[in-house]
Amino acid sequence: MDTALRALAEPRRREILRLVWDRERAVGEIAASVGVSQPAVSQHLQVLREAHLVSDRRDGARRLYRARPDTVQALREFLDDYWTSGLSQLRDAAEAAEQSKRSKRRREH
Amino acid sequence: MDTALRALAEPRRREILRLVWDRERAVGEIAASVGVSQPAVSQHLQVLREAHLVSDRRDGARRLYRARPDTVQALREFLDDYWTSGLSQLRDAAEAAEQSKRSKRRREH
DNA sequence: GACTTATATAAGTGTCAACTTATGCCTTGC
DNA sequence: GCAAGGCATAAGTTGACACTTATATAAGTC
């Protein structure tokens, strides 16, 4: 999970992840889009793959990559929990300061 | 917003953000917890401050830091949009695959 | 099998940033 | 004012990493 966060910290990797989001793409295709060398893209894809953020499959001589919605979803939920747990603590503390309780139900949307 | 993501990419900064999440803490207190030098903590806090992820106030000779829930909330919503927009694109692509057209318009955001 | 195309890996380079120690700046207590 | 505590800033070092070119591996074509 930390791997995924570190993978997303790099703007170029977010750009690449965007590209393979709606449809799978070949490495060369990605390299042409982002404007760096093909090895650079391969290295980024390796990082994304190790973070389980993309999946790959062979297509003849090419290799197609695409985003993995399951991992992306899991990461999103992790971040949601990360934030909300902290936010709820803050809100609880603020409320307790003036009158206490009753807002906990409002947090789950 | 990219600043906030880069700030959170560093595990040590997430650890620090966790520490100042529920209550404000002094720099020295944080340094003692995370096990690095005080200047290192000050530098991390500066990054977090520039990302608007923490606020600070003077307390005598000390300086107290704490997380800024508003920015954290904004970042959370940004990430939610980031994911959901991609997920909806995936859904669109899946639809287009079996019946075609009509999803192309939705892709330009 | 030789040639081409597509990608992965190797090796090298430069930059950035996380950390260190040293020092300066405030604030408080005497 | 002066000393001490608390933090920020300066300067330097080191390791990580994003990128490059060069080369190896794999698949398709003839």
User: Per-residue pLDDT for chain B (109 aa), expressed as one digit of tens each?
Assistant: 778 888 888 999 999 999 999 899 999 999 999 999 999 999 999 999 999 999 999 999 999 999 998 887 887 777 777 766 655 554 444 433 333 222 223 333 2
Distance of residue B64 Cα from the nearest chain A Cα, in angstroms:
16
Residues A52 and A10 occupy one common structural domain: yes
Bridge partners of B26? B64
Of A11, A84, A27, nearest in space to B82 by CA: A11
Considering the domain architecture, whether residues A51 and A75 belong to the same structural domain is answered as: no
Question: A67 near B46, Cβ under 8 Å?
Answer: no
A34 with A58, same domain: the answer is: yes
Count of structural domains within chain A:
2
Same domain (yes/no): A38, A83: no
Is the minimum CB–CB distance between B94 and chain A shorter than 8 Å?
Answer: no
Helix (H, G, I), strand (E, B) or coil at B23: coil
Any idea what the CATH number is for the domain that residue B56 is in? 1.10.10.10
Q: Is the domain of B13 the same as that of B30?
A: yes
Let me know whether B75 and B59 are in one domain: no
Tell me: do B28 and B77 sit in the same domain. Answer: no
Out of B6, B69, B107, closest to residue A22 by CB: B107
CB count in 10 Å sphere of residue B49: 15
* Contact assessment for residue A103 and residue A90, using Cβ atoms and an 8 Å cutoff: no
Q: How far apart are the C-alpha atoms of A36 and B97, rounded to whole Å?
A: 31
Which residue in B18, B21, B90 is closest to A22 by CB distance? Answer: B90
CB under 8 Å to A76, separation ≥6 — which residues?
B79, B80, B83
- Which domain range does residue B87 map to? 71-107
User: Do both A48 and A26 map to the same domain?
Assistant: yes
Identify whether residues B57 and B76 lie together within a single domain. no
